[in-house]
Amino acid sequence: MKALGKSYTDAEATGGDFERLPAGGYIVKITAVKDEASKEYLALVYDVAEGEKKGFYADEWGQEHPYAHRLIASYKEKALGVFKGRLKAIDESNGTNFAERAATGFDEQELVGKIVGMVIGYEEYETDRGDVRERSYVKAVCAAEKIRRGEFKIPELKTLAPAAPAAPVAGFEAIKDEDLPF
């Protein structure tokens, strides 16, 4: 490794901790849209548009990590009902008609700047190293007015299922702890 010099010496050690958006209901604004046509989905990047956490992802970290605050909206054949429901929620929140126009197509960039309600939850996941961590996910998309009226339930942490014990192998007998020589 190369010598890092005075900048390293002068740097203050930190734990890399950052504030997470708490689980709950939020009015969000769509800040960017990318159509991944070959995979048949829209990637909608959002930020909190109202309330105490307004502009939560507007900082440098949020700008550099859009995957941490995006919604994948699949328009594959098997997901069209969910996709239509999300467009209807956007329509109800903005007085638009994307759900109606989707059959004949529209410019997905028209979604930028639109608001919608989202319920954010947290789930555990296992890293490549086997560590268990938490990440946010979009539990529900709804009309902004439902969030304003408090018509949502904050989801509990989705935990990983405990690993199932290994099945016994035929021809081998389990050893009891008391039979071990150490």
pLDDT-derived band at 12, boundaries 50, 70, 90: low
The answer to whether the pTM exceeds 0.85 is no
Pick from 38, 58, 69, 37: nearest CA to 136: 69
Dist. CA 53–CA 168, nearest whole Å: 52
> Which ranges constitute the DSSP H helices of the chain?
5-10, 60-64, 80-94, 98-101, 144-148
Give the pLDDT confidence of 157-180 residue by residue, as tens digits: 999 987 666 666 666 676 677 766
Give the pLDDT confidence of 62-121 residue by residue, as tens digits: 999 999 999 999 999 999 999 999 999 999 999 999 999 999 999 999 999 999 999 999
Query: Does pLDDT of 9 surpass 60?
Result: yes
Domain ranges for the chain, please list them.
19-152
